Chain A
């Protein structure tokens, strides 16, 4: 049900753009106003969220250690999975953020009951592959779009573009990332609906971004291969936005506005959703702290005194039995 609702919402959003920009011809609204607003919401929202997190202190140093600690000199420490220095932490975070280290550990549990229970844990890298492919494709596609936002287009973007379309099948060249991201999105969606556990925990908010991004990718693909779009005009419009001299070319079709509208929705939605994991991972105290707890005191800004049962109070209560047992006391 969650999936259906989310799909309906995304379709409704498409319809809004089709009607508004296509039928209604509100090109300035869909091409200029909404993208601007969405971008501001994205930026401000993202910063707000991160600052809001950062406002809460980290009272304790609680890294989840995933390997041998630093202890005796002759015991080999696992410096990346259990770092005790800042450089180690940076290494750990790089592994987490660029290579999804923790997800790479994933296993799949299986229980066989006949003849007494037997549990096994197979390595399970599908989710890791799906996540890596999705995130890297998304990132490359985003960078590739840099050619609409820059003039002249920097060499590295041109180069990335070439690399992405290295499989020259037909004209225009086909981007590898476009196919991969569709595949990854399909996988991420299918595992959510096929695995009963995942289906049970999934919220509409888990399907919505999948459908939304899928719709963005599809409109992108449509524009490139099926519904000819005036690329020069598109760049004109975008450069207008970038240089703060917005203009609305006449030659852009509805599909372009739908694409831009969906991207705008994604931007505006981002800071208020689980997509903020992109920012949150940097602040996760189980990952971004060094396991040097016993070496360096961590300060808790709100540490407060508590009621204690002091030795004196305790001795007062037990003095007689202490003396009788021959255990030394402070006051005879």
Chain B
């Protein structure tokens, strides 16, 4: 791993003046800290994915398959025929530049190829050459260029420097979504056997074991038991967590990040406490133990293969509907892809809260409800008792995760919950929240250690907005509804805004939750003394 520059040095290295040379003449420099390690060929092979082979980004020769040009051409053509989005987006960009300074990676790196428009041109230039007459004739003059191995290297570099956050698409007058282009770029690379291990290993684990981390079922149970011990210590209440229970009403699915590491584990404990308190008849599955879906960051096929487990398991267990935990890209997949890919879910019922009787009409086809929708409804109906003063030591701001914001619109639900579980809440500046939210800088499979410098660069806009409310209101807690955020933001905060902790919404919910028969609580879920109970 590379040495991470100091925040000050990193900030002063950002230069927005483009180089003198034409971008087509500049090759990417595979500097440690700015690229992710390649997928292990054994894993690619075990998944049955095309062209597994050894290669390294820093090598001259990437050992591409012999007919790589043909593969690129055919894949590209195939995707153009399959996705209107790609075809239209290839054709209609006017290079107005409205998207240019909207990308967190451009803001944090100044690299012109991180402007969404230029990221798209990396692919578009080949499109022009191979699929348009003008491009064929005019060449570079018409914005076209020949496909070479250097182009492949450049694609790899920059399509794995995009978190598919869609902030650019919000500002584009035609809705051109560079995330969509990145996804197609990654699909093409995938066909050549080029992908990153931080995406491939979770895919493999999720497919074979049941979750990204590769936690086998018995270990999963151990972890849950362990958390129940903690909960008992804090609340005096022993919680049972049903696993693979047939005939439960609800299947609960959450990203594995929630039960793998702090601070996600506190959020997970929060879910368990809430379900216990309301007496929800639910089960978790150790087969479909993953809400997240790293397949999304590799190819349509990988995404579908992983996602299929959720409906399959819901069917096997005979549940009525599915509840999903706090996660960003998981909800992109569930909201925008699941029903289409693996539906129809006609074996399930329209979700109805057994506590409040609320029918979730907005999920009547997919039959999957977001936990923030579920909890907000509970609070609205007064179905749970809350003591927000238990969170009085927290001065809170909320990070909207990219996908629930720009691929769903889940904006008010988490805020409504927050306003009932804590007393000090402040918004970050308007241009950095809700639909305009900035990415954590580590999404789309880029949350790996070797990519740290770019993560800190890409996370700068988010961190800087946190710093603003940290300085102004003393904010010390950043809430989020995403497992990748919970893994990535603590590092980002330590780097740019030390003194701010990261928490899931349901951690705060559980802190405030007054449970029937609980003992007087002395500590919060993290084992720290509650306000007023110090010393």
Contacts and interface: CB of A to CB of B under 8 A. Distances in A.
Interface string B83-123: 11111110111111110111000010000100101100100
Contact of B343 (A119, A297, A307, A317): A297
A283 B84 contact: yes
Contact of A71 (B85, B96, B313, B410): B410
20 contacts: A56-B86, A62-B407, A64-B407, A71-B360, A74-B380, A75-B376, A96-B175, A103-B171, A106-B171, A109-B102, A111-B14, A117-B7, A121-B432, A201-B121, A281-B173, A295-B361, A311-B313, A314-B208, A318-B216, A327-B243
A245 interface: no
B137 to A, nearest CB: 11
Given A56-B80, A197-B100, A281-B92, A307 B373 contact: no
Interface stretch (A158-166, A169-177, A286-294): A286-294
Nearest to A274: B94
5 tightest A-B contacts by CB? A69-B409, A280-B92, A286-B175, A117-B11, A65-B409
- The interface centre, meaning the residue of A5, A107, A293, A326 with most chain B CB atoms within 10 A of its CB, is A293
Interface in A253-310: 272-274, 276-277, 280-281, 283-287, 291, 293-300, 302-303, 306-310
A57 interface: yes
A204 interface: yes
Contacts of A317: 208
B411 interface: yes
Interface string A314-329: 1101100110111110
A177 B14 CA distance: 42
A206 interface: yes
A321 B84 contact: no
A327 B221 contact: yes
A116 interface: yes
- The interface centre, meaning the residue of B88, B117, B309, B436 with most chain A CB atoms within 10 A of its CB, is B88
Given A116-B11, A277-B92, A127 B362 contact: no
A318 B92 contact: no
B187 interface: no
B84 A121 contact: no
A74 B362 CA distance: 13
A308 B312 contact: yes
Contacts of A61: 336, 340
Given A69-B408, A82-B409, A201 B95 contact: yes
Given A96-B173, A197-B97, A296 B84 contact: no
Given A62-B407, A69-B362, A71-B373, A294 B100 contact: no
Nearest to B409: A69
A295 B409 contact: no
B366 interface: yes
Interface string A219-253: 00000000000000000000000000000000000
A139 interface: no
Contacts of A287: 174-175
Contact of A60 (B14, B171, B337): B337
A68 B368 contact: no
Contacts of A107: 101-102, 171, 431
A272 B87 CA distance: 14
Given A293-B339, A295-B365, 15 more contacts: A62-B85, A65-B409, A70-B409, A105-B171, A119-B461, A200-B112, A203-B143, A274-B94, A277-B94, A284-B174, A286-B176, A293-B366, A297-B339, A308-B305, A310-B312
A68 B405 CA distance: 8
A49 to B, nearest CB: 8
B428 to A, nearest CB: 11
B524 interface: no
B94 A297 contact: no
Interface string B330-343: 00001111011101
A177 to B, nearest CB: 21
A284 B176 contact: yes
Contacts of B364: 294-295
A57 B84 contact: yes
B166 interface: yes
Contacts of A62: 85, 177, 180, 336, 407
B435 interface: yes
A142 interface: no
B245 A119 contact: no
Interface string A41-68: 0000000010011111111111111111
Contact of A65 (B180, B363, B407): B407
Nearest to A308: B308
B461 to A, nearest CB: 6
A102 B99 CA distance: 11
A294 B362 contact: yes
Contacts of B100: 197-198, 201
B173 A57 contact: no
Given A276-B91, A296-B365, A195 B80 contact: no
A196 B17 contact: yes
A103 B365 CA distance: 34
Contacts of B432: 121
A79 to B, nearest CB: 11
Interface string B152-178: 000000000000001001111111110
Given A64-B177, A302-B82, A274 B92 contact: yes
B83 A325 contact: no
B287 A72 contact: no
B340 A103 contact: no
Interface string A104-128: 0111110101001111010000010
Contacts of B337: 60
B16 interface: yes
A113 B14 contact: yes
Interface string B350-378: 00000000101111111010000100110
Contacts of A66: 170, 406, 409, 435
A146 to B, nearest CB: 27
Contacts of B17: 196
Given A65-B406, A197-B18, A277-B92, A103 B85 contact: no
Contact of B93 (A76, A200, A274, A306): A274
- The interface centre, meaning the residue of A54, A72, A116 with most chain B CB atoms within 10 A of its CB, is A72
Contacts of B407: 62-65
A85 interface: no
Contact of A102 (B172, B245, B246): B172
